Structure 1
């Protein structure tokens, strides 16, 4: 996706990556997208992603997670972006913009999820660019994230994120067993 495409669609809040559209959702739009967001979360956990849930993840639990996210969007605590194609939602990422009073300049990138049917198509990279742009628009100058995925680490490093370090045995894989997590940051210029 080139910067001209980003600039030309700035007014609508949409970003395109090939046949994929990236949108920053309002609370109402997030509510409407919940079935697709739930499908993506279920697919990622089923595929072994360490994203806070254990397998098997049931639909009701996943829907409860998204209800909480939508409430955070409605309160202005989170920015929620989705990647969509003709078949529906295929990826998502959040920016947690509500931070303590001594960290108004910072946001946490959270729950970068891409459905297995959409991997290796540039969806993650497009979501990252759109999330960084949304964070800039929200006045954020420092972003932080953590990941347990070596594939995601490569994506973040290519996008200019700086690896800070690894915490061993930080969480569990969805099927059990401890996994490490790697922390990254990015200063937005």
Structure 2
């Protein structure tokens, strides 16, 4: 595993690291991961996207962790908390990203575990996510006990613009 250390970012720290976070997002998209953007991702758009996340972090609707090594962001994971009274027991796992240079060293698994443990500490008992079907990310989720709930064909375009299916996953989290 890499020596990267993951920490939860408050809004100010997120804004301090916005350039490095943008680098990670650009690398992730350039590497073919379907995280909501088309390639090539413009740097200004990547920076703006991360800046917008700071509002959700400040409001407590979003938790973001960054794995850093030698002043470089190598990975992130986020939890988007539900805002309706009947859904406060669940959260969405979003934007699990690992830089191509750090893949295959256990960082993705470590970030996923960190998010699951933080969810449990926050009283969240159900996590859900969506990911591109047959992607490396999907293999990670299956290997770590996530349950597939179904596939939606042509759900999102890959970074190259090709429509791809998406698999929905969930995982029950033990609290306490």
Partner of 2:69: 85
CA RMSD in angstroms comes to 1.2
1:94 alignment partner in structure 2 = 78
Q: Quote the residue 1:169 is aligned against.
A: 154
Match of 2:101 in 1: 117
Post-superposition CA distance 1:11-61 (Å, at most 9, x none): xxxxxx651211111111111111111000000111111111111110111
Decide whether the 8 Å contact of 2:32 with 2:159 is kept in 1.
yes
Give the alignment partner of residue 160 of structure 1, picking from 145, 169, 175.
145
- Which residue matches 1:134? 118
Counterpart Cα distance in 1 of 2:154 and 2:23: 28
1:21-40 equivalent positions in 2, closer than 5 A: 21-40=5-24
* Aligned mates of 1:135, 1:31 — CA distance in 2: 23
The DSSP-based 3-state class of the residue aligned with 2:85 is coil
Shift of 1:99: 2.9
SS at 2:140 equivalent: helix
Indicate yes or no: 2:3 matched with 1:19: yes
Q: Which residue of 2 aligns with 1:55?
A: 39
- Report Cα offsets for 1:127-184 as digits up to 9, x if no partner: 0011111111221110000101521111111211111111110010111111110110
- Number of aligned positions between the proteins: 173
Is the 2:89–2:124 contact (alpha carbons within 8 Å) kept by the matching residues of 1? yes
Q: Which of 155, 165, 169 is the aligned partner of 1:180?
A: 165
Residue in 2 aligned with 1:150? 135
Flag structure 2 segments of 5+ consecutive residues without an equivalent: none
Distance in 2 (CA, whole Å) between partners of 1:60 and 1:86 is: 24
Q: Where does structure 1 lack aligned partners over 5 or more consecutive residues?
A: 1-16
> For the residues of structure 1 that align with 2:28 and 2:50, how far apart are their CA atoms?
14
- With normalisation by structure 2, the TM-score equals 0.94
Q: Which runs of 4+ in 1 moved over 3 A?
A: none
Bigger mean CA deviation after superposition, 17-26 or 99-108: 17-26
Residue of structure 2 in register with 1:5 after alignment: none
Q: 1:72, CA displacement in angstroms?
A: 0.6
How many angstroms apart in 1 are the aligned matches of 2:6 and 2:118?
11
